Amino acid sequence: MAYTEGSKLWGGRFVGDTDPIMEKFNASITYDQRMWDADIRGSKAYVKALEKAKLVSTEEMAQILQGMDQISEEWSKGVFLIKPEDEDIHTANERRLKELVGAPAGKLHTGRSRNDQVVTDMRLWLRDAVAILTNNSLQLISTMVERAAIEIDVLFPGYTHMQRAQPIRWSHWILSYAVALSRDVERLLEIKKRANILPLGSGAIAGTPFDIDRELLRTELGFDGISLNSMDATGQRDFVAEFLFWASLCLTHLSKMAEDLMLYSTKEYSFVTLSDAYSTGSSLMPQKKNADSLELIRSKAGRVFGRCAGFMMTLKGLPSTYNKDLQEDKEAMFDCYDTVHAVLQVTTGVMSTLKINQSVMEAALSPDMLATDLAYYLVRKGVPFREAHGLSGKAVFTAESKNLSLNQLTEADLAAVSPLFGSDVSSVWDYRSSVEQYGAFGGTAKSSVSAQVEHLRNWLKTQSQ
């Protein structure tokens, strides 16, 4: 069925009906309806500005506000009836308002365009979404920090290039991701500041010809500032692009962490065991316990990357101000929010329930991981590091040639490499002593890791204030 153009917000110019296929192609109500609350808040603020400008009477304002409250209640209860001619959330709410209050509803759009209306809705919606994602992120970080504090004495191999590198604390690994996530929170709050600018009152492109008090609008809607240029306000989507990039970077961190945990949970490593609550089985192989939670976290990063890249491709070819292409902004924003929201909650569940296998972790430490310590031993005896590095490498080669582990070399073997190796070299072959030497700020010594825990605890307190 086609709908006459007179039923649309833009219908006066057109004659005849829109092709039903075009109706469906053009509509956004299926997804932008989730901005119903933001749209109502914007309209309630706008009618107050209209009343102050004497464009609606006080009585008409009261009718519109009452109607908007009823529409809000209908949405809240899930009984709002979307009709086929409702092109978008703005059309749906205004259509329903007219059903409720009659002629005054026709004045609500005075001086307002869907161009400034939709971007206002989006900024309001994203502001609320950012608050939720911030809380999700803080919960995850807190879970990780407290786990790091409890398991601070557990050692295990640190890896570079997927090869065993040096002994580190398990807590040091946990906190490496907690720190990355703390930066994600700070970036998200920066995005919120830039998103929290009022565009309403910009009209379609040129601004408003009426005496609309934009400061009143800013105060009513809780924005931090007012847009400086009406063309920029209605046509730019920097805040959406920033949010999509933020989601991509946040999920990059979580994908990397998930990849580590997947490896650590395999039989080949057996460092950690995932809770059954975050694992699944095989339809064929009864023995399987699959880390599906981690695999999905990893895969969702690709989904978000695609949204970000796709939207940037949409933006890069647009001329100035509003173009219908920008309708793509909402699905990308909603999908990235939904994805990150779910990933943060699942990751918190994984990190709060997984079990570590401390004996296996520490058994995986091997003397070759102390080759750097052997070089440091020589450095402490005055040998330049580059020379000490080469001598330690010769010791490693000697051990490999004799099919021995590095700590099985005799004093004579080491003395043949350098006369500076003495009987006290045996002190090198202690993993806890190795870890404890990294006491500088940011290192993996217990004192340093404890300092990281306290730093992040204090940071978390500042975020909750």
Please return the burial class of 286, using the count of CB atoms within 10 Å of its CB with bins 0-12, 13-18 and 19+: exposed
Name the strand (E) or helix (H) holding 298: helix 292-316
Pairing outcome for strands 197-198 and 225-226: parallel
Please return the burial class of 53, using the count of CB atoms within 10 Å of its CB with bins 0-12, 13-18 and 19+: middle
Active site residue: 57, 76, 282, 405, which one?
282
CA dihedral sign of residues 348, 352, 354, 357: positive
**In whole angstroms, what is the distance from residue 391 CA to residue 388 CA?**
5
DSSP state of 367: G
Count of C-beta atoms within a 10 Å radius of residue 150:
11
Please return the burial class of 356, using the count of CB atoms within 10 Å of its CB with bins 0-12, 13-18 and 19+: middle
112 neighbors 200 (Cβ within 8 angstroms): yes
Nearest to 245 by CA among 316, 177, 188, 204: 188
270 is known as an active-site residue:
no
Name the strand (E) or helix (H) holding 160: strand 155-160
Count of C-beta atoms within a 10 Å radius of residue 366:
14
**In whole angstroms, what is the distance from residue 120 CA to residue 115 CA?**
9
Active site residue: 161, 283, 401, 423, which one?
161
Q: What are phi and psi of 425, to 5 degrees?
A: -65, -20
282 is known as an active-site residue:
yes
Q: Show which residues are catalytic.
A: 161, 282
